[in-house]
Amino acid sequence: MSSLRLSITKVLHVSVLTLPLFLFLFAPQPIFAEASGDAVGADLRQLQKLGPVTVQTIVANGIRALLGVAGAIALLMFVYGGFLWMTAAGNDERIKKGKNTLLWASIGIVAMFLSYAGVRFVFSVINMEATPAQSCINKNNPDGSIEIICKGDPNYPKK
C-alpha cells in the first residue's frame, strides 16, 4: 500500500510541475496585426525589385545551406562524443571512442570554416557575391516609400 501511495505522490508531483509548462507552451497566443491599404501588394512589389534569380545566388544559397546542415551534424557529433566519454565509467575503449569522436568533430568544424573561407575567396575573385543580400541597398524616397536598388541597376551607387 505504501508503494502505491508513493507512486501516486510521484505522479501528482510530476503533473503539478509539468502542467504549467504544458499550458505555457501550448496556450493560444494573441496575434496583433494591422492592415493598412495595400500592404501585401506593396511587399510583393518590393520583392520583385530584387531582380531575377541567378545561378550565382542559387549556388551561394546552396553552399550556405549545406554548411548549415554540416554544422548541425558536427554539433550532434560533439554531443554524442561527450556522452560516450562521460558515460564510459572507466571503460578505456569507450573513452577512446568518445575522444576520437570529439577530435573528428573538431576537425570537421575546422574544415567547414576553411571551406567557407575558400568559397568566399573564390566568389570574390570571380566577382560573385557569396551573400546575395549584401548586394542590395534601401533607398528612402521623398514620398516616404522605400526602394530597393541592387547591383546592376543604373541607380546603384558607384564605389
Q: Which of 19-23, 42-46, 94-98, 131-135 has the lowest mean pLDDT?
A: 131-135
CB atoms within 10 A of CB 22: 10
pLDDT tens string 52-73? 667 777 777 788 888 888 889 9
pTM here? 0.48
Say what the pLDDT of residue 95 is: 93
Rounded to whole angstroms, how far apart are CA atoms 35 and 28?
22
Structure confidence at residue 78 as a pLDDT band (50, 70, 90): very high
Closest by Cα among 143, 144, 129 to 61:
129
pLDDT tens string 14-47? 777 776 766 666 776 666 665 555 555 555 556 6
- The answer, yes or no, to whether residue 130 has pLDDT greater than 50, is no
Are the C-beta atoms of residues 81 and 102 closer than 8 Å to each other? yes
